[in-house]
Amino acid sequence: MRVLERAGVGAPRVDAEVLLGFVLGVSRGALGSLLVLDRELPDGAAAAFDALVERRARREPLQHLTGVAPFRHVELAVGPGVFVPRPETEQVAQVAIDEARRVVDERGSAVVVDLCTGSGAIALAVATEVPGARVHAVELDAAAHAWAARNLAGSGVTLVKGDARTTLRELDGAVDVVVSNPPYVPPDAVPRDPEVAEHDPAVALYGLGADGLEVPRGITAAAARLLRPGGLYVMEHAEVQDAAARAMVDATGLYAPATTADDLTGRPRMVVARRAGAPVEH
């Protein structure tokens, strides 16, 4: 644990326990029992654990070392080439899930679209937690799409490889919920954590444009095209982008006035708006 502390890892004890549990093939809860009993490690386990600790000290993401990332009630396969889902995105998923449940209760089914799905985290969470939701997920990047295909296999989610701004034309005006965690980091705001800056793919981080919102603007326009009148749009953004994100949505003239919602730590991390008026003509 001291090795991880010296390396600046944020939660060294937790990470050490997760890595030791991974080596032993047990949960953290079961690991606690083994530690209390002070049992010796099996042959080779100590060396394997030490090697993983050294890699973690070099700030390789914990999820890359174990190959999995928990997200709400599911576990996702992750690794190089795909953005590792973060706890703050779980609340973005919650907003989409709550709306999808409301629509299912009202009409018996709901259509949900996850744009820029990455690992498939939000799409899988909605499909898992909302029986009756028909979920579509879109990802353009080849590496991320491969991870999403792995995670969404057998889930019932329809995964599309394509540009989130232009795909799913067949669903125009028929979607109840559009949810997105797009790239939104401005070009001059390099993430401080090495796990993010050095290991998350740049295509999943940087939203282009001086404000980082060029890609989100395209996603916002696509959501307006897809949503039925009254349908809900929710998009994650950086905590410093709340006013800019609301202005971005409101500038389209296609939504009711946008609002900001907080993540579980109370930070403003998502813009929420309902589609107004009639479906967009094409």
Chain segment 11-56, per-residue pLDDT in tens: 898 999 899 889 988 766 656 555 544 566 677 888 999 999 999 9
Single-letter residue type at 10: G
Same domain flag for 27 and 146: no
Task: Give pLDDT, residue 44.
Answer: 82
CB 126 within 8 A of CB 135: yes
Known binding residue 42? Answer is no
Tell me the residue range of the domain where 173 lies.
87-274
Same domain flag for 92 and 35: no
Domain boundary pick from 58, 73, 102: 58
Same domain flag for 39 and 100: no
Radius of gyration of the chain (CA): 20
The count of domains in the chain is 2
Domain boundary pick from 41, 58, 75: 58
Known binding residue 206? Answer is no
CB 179 within 8 A of CB 112: yes
Which secondary-structure segment (H or E) carries 136?
Answer: strand 133-139
Same domain flag for 206 and 264: yes
Place of tokens 């609301």: 246
Which secondary-structure segment (H or E) carries 152?
Answer: helix 142-152
Same domain flag for 172 and 96: yes
Same domain flag for 101 and 40: no
Domain annotation covers residue 26: yes
Domain annotation covers residue 188: yes
Best CA proximity match to 73, nearest among 125, 118, 122, 119: 125
Gap between the Cα atoms of 174 and 279, Å rounded: 9
Same domain flag for 34 and 132: no
Domain annotation covers residue 248: yes
Domain annotation covers residue 203: yes
- The low-confidence residues of the chain, meaning pLDDT below 70, are 1, 27-41, 278-282
Domain annotation covers residue 75: no
Gap between the Cα atoms of 229 and 252, Å rounded: 15
Same domain flag for 53 and 114: no
Domain annotation covers residue 69: no
CA–CA–CA angle 74, 76, 77 (5° rounding) = 155
Task: Give pLDDT, residue 279.
Answer: 43
**57-81: pLDDT as tens digits:** 999 999 999 999 999 999 999 999 9
Domain annotation covers residue 65: no
Same domain flag for 123 and 260: yes
Task: Give pLDDT, residue 32.
Answer: 59
Same domain flag for 167 and 40: no
The number of beta carbons lying within 10 Å of the beta carbon of residue 252 is 16
Same domain flag for 95 and 38: no
Query: Residue 119: which CATH number?
Result: 3.40.50.150
Three-state SS at 122:
helix
Domain annotation covers residue 66: no
CB 249 within 8 A of CB 233: yes
Best CA proximity match to 86, nearest among 219, 195, 160: 195
Known binding residue 181? Answer is yes
Same domain flag for 51 and 163: no
- Edge to edge, the sheet with strand 158-161 lists 158-161, 133-139, 110-115, 175-180, 227-236, 268-274, 259-262
